[in-house]
Amino acid sequence: MRLKIVQNFDASFTLEPQAKETLFKSLTSEAFLNQICQQLQCQKLEFTELLFQPVPYSLTTTKGMPAEFEKYHESDEYVIINVPPNFMFSAKIFKPSRLCAIYQKLANA
């Protein structure tokens, strides 16, 4: 079985305002933020309102994300999570089928 390297992948997308609002409410809910903090063993997180569509491995996207988001992957101050499918469904987002969200870890207040 041979691997096919994708040369170009269009990761751009646009969310309808209502879908974006619903999704952001889910991603910033206290229960969800607490769940992420428990997993990461951190005190507090803040949603950066940055979303991206995961991309296939390519020579320019070796981390599975658009190159402009790799700085967040490499930083200990940020965490990247897969948006839960039920959040996508609740917001009626079907394309793209997967999204990732970026959160910033905050120091103890």
pLDDT at 4 over 90: no
Question: When comparing pLDDT for 78 and 15, which is higher?
Answer: 78
Average pLDDT, the chain: 87
Q: Which two tokens stand for residue 96?
A: 């793209």
**pLDDT for 19-68, tens place per residue?**
999 999 999 999 999 999 999 988 899 999 999 998 877 777 778 888 88
Contacts of 7 (CB under 8 A, 6+ apart): 58, 59
- Nearest CA among 102, 28, 34 for reference residue 65: 102
Question: Could you tell me which residue, 5 or 40, shows the higher pLDDT?
Answer: 40
Q: pTM, whole model, 2 decimals?
A: 0.83
- Cα dihedral across residues 86, 90, 91, 94: positive or negative: positive
Contact 27, 46 (CB under 8 A): no
- Per-residue confidence (pLDDT) for residue 102, from 0 to 100: 96
CB atoms within 10 A of CB 103: 24
